[in-house]
Amino acid sequence: MKYRTIVADPPWTPVIGAGKSDYSRDKARPQKHYETMTLEAIKAIEVPAADSAHLWLWCLSQHVDWGYEVARVWGFEPAITLTWCKAGLGAGRFQSNTEHVLLCRRGPRQLAPFERTAGTWFRWPRGAHSVKPDAFYELVERVSPEPRLELFARRRRYGWDVWGNEAPTEQASQATLDLEGVA
């Protein structure tokens, strides 16, 4: 199946704090929560996107440039960066309390139009580490067409196919991607 909308929150390996000796000093390091992938491994994924499609690609604040690289390798052109402004201060040297998602398009504008987003920054509640808020998915469903796939999913959402190490496999159908040897 080819998807018109793909949401991806890759398990990036950040350059700052990527060493195992750093794990105990910072609770926000992704390596403490799940296995990460190199930039090259993420770029090597063949996403099952339709000729006209949207990509919502979550990026690290320190490496938004990687998001642009990945989007283009996957066949998308970034259109805008959206920012999730989280309440309170985050972890790390800069106490980062924002996350960024590139909204990208594949195909002609006329065949892959965006609906209105109501701005480019959002105040959504925080959840567990790396879990995106329901309001984000509601935005995607309002702005982008079906069928929809979430790569690196941690949970299911009605009407979506999911793929990821943490995605539950009971319930509705799960999209299968051949990612053997990629990680």
pLDDT tens for 39-74 read 999 999 999 999 999 999 999 888 899 999 999 999
CATH number at residue 65: 3.40.50
Could you report the per-residue pLDDT of 98-143, keeping only the tens digit for each? 899 999 999 987 776 677 787 888 888 776 766 788 999 999 999 9
Position 104 in a domain: yes
Position 26 in a domain: yes
Q: What is the DSSP letter of 11?
A: -
Position 182 in a domain: no
Residue 2: partners with Cβ closer than 8 Å, 6 or more residues away: 48, 49, 50, 51, 53
Between 16 and 19, the more confident residue is 16
- By CB atoms closer than 10 A (0-12, 13-18, 19+), residue 171 is exposed
The answer to whether the CB of 55 falls within 8 A of the CB of 102 is: yes
Position 63 in a domain: yes
| Number of domains making up the chain | 1
pLDDT of residue 80 exceeding 90, the answer is yes
